[in-house]
C-alpha cells in the first residue's frame, strides 16, 4: 500500500532494495516471505517503522471479523478510489480527524 500511495513502481522499489522487480511482486503477493532484515530495509526506504506494516492486522487473540483479511485490504488499495482515500487519509496529521473520518465511513457503510 505504501508503494502505491507514493506512486512508486515495483521496479524502483526493487532497485532501491537490490532485488528484481519479480521479487518485489512475490513479496507483495505473499508468494515469498520477507526476512526481518529485508523488512527493516523496506521500512527504512519508506521512512516508517517495521511495525507500521502490521497496523490493522488481527492479533492472535482477535476474534474472527475484528480486522479485514490482507486480501480484502489488498483489493481495496489496488483500486483508484482506495489509493485516493488512503493518500488523503495519510496526509492528515490530526488523530482526531482520522478517527472522525473512520467513524463517518463506518456510519455511511451501515446505511
- Beta strands, E only, the chain: none
Range of the domain at 93: 79-111
Same domain assignment for residues 48 and 100: no
**% helix / strand / coil in the chain, to the nearest 5?**
65, 0, 35
| Those residues with Cβ within 8 angstroms of residue 49's Cβ, 6 or more apart along the chain or in another chain | 43
- Measured CA to CA, the distance from residue 106 to residue 33 in angstroms comes to 33
Query: Is position 63 within any domain?
Result: no
pLDDT at 67: 53
pTM, full prediction: 0.52
Query: Is position 83 within any domain?
Result: yes
Same domain assignment for residues 10 and 42: yes
CATH of the domain at 14: 1.10.260.40
Rg, C-alpha atoms of the chain: 15
Total domain count, the chain: 2
Same domain assignment for residues 7 and 43: yes
Same domain assignment for residues 43 and 4: yes
pLDDT at 21: 92
Query: Is position 68 within any domain?
Result: no
**Residue count of the chain:** 111
Q: Write out the chain's pLDDT in tens, 111 residues.
A: 788 878 889 999 999 999 999 999 999 888 899 999 999 999 999 988 888 887 766 665 545 555 555 666 777 777 888 888 888 888 888 889 988 988 898 889 888
pLDDT at 30: 85
Amino acid at each position: 500500500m505504501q508503494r502505491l500511495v507514493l506512486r512508486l513502481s515495483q521496479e524502483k522499489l526493487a532497485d532501491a532494495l537490490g532485488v528484481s522487480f519479480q521479487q518485489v511482486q512475490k513479496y507483495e503477493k505473499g508468494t515469498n516471505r520477507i526476512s526481518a532484515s529485508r523488512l527493516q530495509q523496506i521500512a527504512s526506504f519508506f521512512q516508517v517503522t517495521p511495525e507500521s506494516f502490521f497496523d490493522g492486522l488481527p492479533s492472535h487473540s482477535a476474534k474472527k471479523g475484528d480486522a479485514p483479511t490482507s486480501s480484502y485490504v489488498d483489493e481495496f488499495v489496488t483500486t483508484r478510489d482506495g489509493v485516493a482515500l488512503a493518500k488523503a487519509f495519510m496526509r492528515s496529521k490530526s488523530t482526531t480527524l482520522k478517527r472522525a473520518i473512520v467513524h463517518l465511513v463506518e456510519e455511511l457503510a451501515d446505511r
